[in-house]
Amino acid sequence: MTEEKIHKERHGSWWALSPLLVFLCLYLVTSILVNDFYKVPITVAFLVSSCYAIAITRGLKLDQRIYQFSVGAANKNILLMIWIFILAGAFAQSAKQMGAIDATVNLTLHILPDNLLLAGIFIAACFISLSIGTSVGTIVALTPVAVGLAEKTEIALPFMVAVVVGGSFFGDNLSFISDTTIASTKTQECVMRDKFRVNSMIVVPAAIIVLGIYIFQGLSITAPAQVQTIEWIKVIPYIIVLNKCEQFTQEDERLRVQENTASYLKTEKEKILLVSAADKSGIYELKEELGALKGKEEEERKIVGDLLEPSDFVVLVVPIDSAAPKGRLILPQQQVIRDVLESGATAIVCRDTELADTLKKLGQPPKLVITDSQAFASVSKDTPKNIPLTSFSILFSRYKGDLQTQIEGVKMLDKLKDGDTILMAEGCTHHRQCDDIGTVKLPRWISEYTGKKLNFATSSGGGFPENLSPYRLIVHCGGCTLSKREMAFRIAEAKDQNVPIVNYGTIIAQLKDVLKRSIAPFADELS
């Protein structure tokens, strides 16, 4: 999209001033209320208001939104540089706060011989600055260590600081996230790799010569016997896994193996996991630990818990028919029940045939009624209008996917033509029944609704097609067996290839004329 095209497509609106109001409220008003103009950093206010401005832009892809914002707010190169500066600074600060810089410094100093102290400090400064893209941040992080070492050796303090500064400038000059690198490439409109290549030809030979001088000067220097303890976990997260634990039948044997291994490797006993590939013991614990290494989201997304308060109760409508698994509930129903209970609310489960009687017996209306999408028509009829209603599938569209995108995808139903092909996609590979929802019921309902002669293709499990051009519409299951990342990927692929996508619950709600009611509980999110 060219700059001229963007200017032509822009239309004046008072709503366009709302990002400025967000900025003023966040920075100025908040500062006045707390009587501290340093409480909210101006960069934070800028970032939030900029993100808001991009978010309210409609009809463009994300990269086009950012480009349009950059063109409209100022010179596009300057704005893009500011974006990168802020994000690069956030990365550097995060690295410092989590202790990664200190850990990396200690590691560098620890693995070098004593007579290479000067060279070690120089290499550490080069590496850290190259990694985080800031010479000032590197100097701030490394100088205290260098000063402490200078005090314990015969090295002059100014000389030690100069070593740190020189290494910091070297790394900053070659880092891809350095502000100077970004400024020079963006303002001069050159490719970053070209600058990197030219700079390398200039500074690398100089760095090698300086490193040789530091090695020669450091031959007579003895480093302190001890440096700070290396926090390996902040350099490389790890878990030590010992297989064939089926050999240890007694619990005390397992504990002894863990303790001995931890003592030998000088690590925590909790980092030693015993598993067995033969009988699968310990595999679940290993998966849990691997998941913990990734870290938890500050605020985990909920399926429905964010809509509930403790002491609320929810009615879950679970039809029992030929497609229902014998002796158990299907996975989405199980997961919703668990989420309701974790929120402190109460889950009441009934069949669609008992819903009306169940609601009459309750002393007060439930906070929400959640139904299997296939029972939307009867459940909507039996549920009073004052009680919010949605489906398991729509909840999962909101939880793992993009509900707004899939609501937009519903509109394609009215645009289908004879001969169009619809992809019925499922995340699992379950055994199909004679009246299967994905291959039988939905194709029939869609054909009846549109009155068109349509073709239907299917995919299941990991077999989601790479090329989506043959399809006019994608109808996807709730994705209860797929990860959020996989579901987001499939939706992104559909959007990139301009193929509307909708999930089972959303399209069934439209087919049964209850879509507006079924998404009403999420009105604030969709507005």
Q: 388-416 pLDDT, tens per residue? A: 999 888 888 888 767 888 888 888 998 99
Residue listed under structure tokens 């963007």: 6
pLDDT number for residue 6? 47
**Mean pLDDT for the stretch of residues 428-441:** 68
Digit-coded pLDDT (tens) for 462-473: 778 888 989 999
Per residue in 65-84, pLDDT (tens digit) is: 777 766 666 555 566 666 66
Between these two residues, 369 and 328, which has the higher pLDDT value? Answer: 369
In the chain, where are the structural domains located?
Answer: 3-73, 94-220, 237-294, 305-393, 402-526
**Tens-place pLDDT, residues 102-150:** 565 555 556 656 667 778 788 878 877 777 666 666 776 677 667 666 7
475 vs 125, residue with greater confidence: 475
**Residue 60: band (very low, low, confident or very high) from pLDDT cuts 50, 70, 90:** confident
> How do beta strands 421-425 and 455-459 pair?
parallel
Q: Which of 437, 425, 430 is nearest to 494 (CA)?
A: 425
Q: Are 405 and 519 in contact (CB under 8 A)?
A: no
Count helices and strands in the chain by DSSP H and E runs: 25, 10
Q: Which helix (H) or strand (E) holds 145?
A: helix 135-152
At 427, list the tokens: 């995340």
Residue 391, beta-bridge partner list: 371
How far CA 282 is from CA of 252, 260, 286, in Å, comes to 16, 19, 6
Q: Averaged over 299-310, what is the pLDDT?
A: 79
Nearest Cα to Cα of residue 437 among 448, 447, 426: 426
Residue 20, pLDDT above cutoff 90: no
The pLDDT assigned to 281 comes to 81
Question: Which candidate, 426, 391, 421, places its Cα nearest to that of 508?
Answer: 391
Range of lowest pLDDT (88-92, 288-292, 487-491): 88-92
The answer on pLDDT for 452 being more than 60 is: yes
What is the CATH code of the structural domain delimited by 305-393?
3.40.50.11420
- Cβ-contact 308, 345 below 8 angstroms: yes
157-174 and 117-132 helices, crossing angle to 10°: 40
Which pTM value belongs to this model?
A: 0.45
The Cα-based distances of 369 to 316, 352, 516 in angstroms read: 6, 11, 15
Residue ranges of E strands in 308-382: 313-317, 346-350, 368-371
Does 305-393 match 402-526 in CATH topology? Answer: yes
Q: How far apart are CA 161 and CA 417, in angstroms?
A: 73
Q: What is the pLDDT of residue 463?
A: 75
pLDDT score recorded for residue 299: 45
Task: Give the pLDDT score at 482.
Answer: 77
Q: Could you give the CA distance from residue 509 to residue 515 in angstroms, rounded to a whole number?
A: 4
Q: Which residues contact 419 (CB under 8 A, 6 or more apart)?
A: 453, 454, 455
Residues in the chain: 527
Type of residue found at 516? K
Q: What percent of the chain has pLDDT over 70?
A: 69
Distance separating alpha carbons of residues 100 and 236, to the nearest angstrom: 10
368: pLDDT confidence band, cut at 50, 70 and 90?
A: very high
pLDDT score recorded for residue 230 = 46
- For the segment 199-227, the average pLDDT, to the nearest whole number, is 74
4: pLDDT strictly greater than 70: no
Residue, of 430 and 420, whose pLDDT is higher: 420
pLDDT at 1 over 50: no
For the chain, what percent of residues have pLDDT higher than 90?
8
Q: 23-32, 467-476, 477-486: which has the highest mean pLDDT? A: 467-476
- Quick one: CATH architecture of 402-526? 3-Layer(aba) Sandwich (3.40)
Residue 488 structure tokens: 């987001």
Average pLDDT, the chain: 76
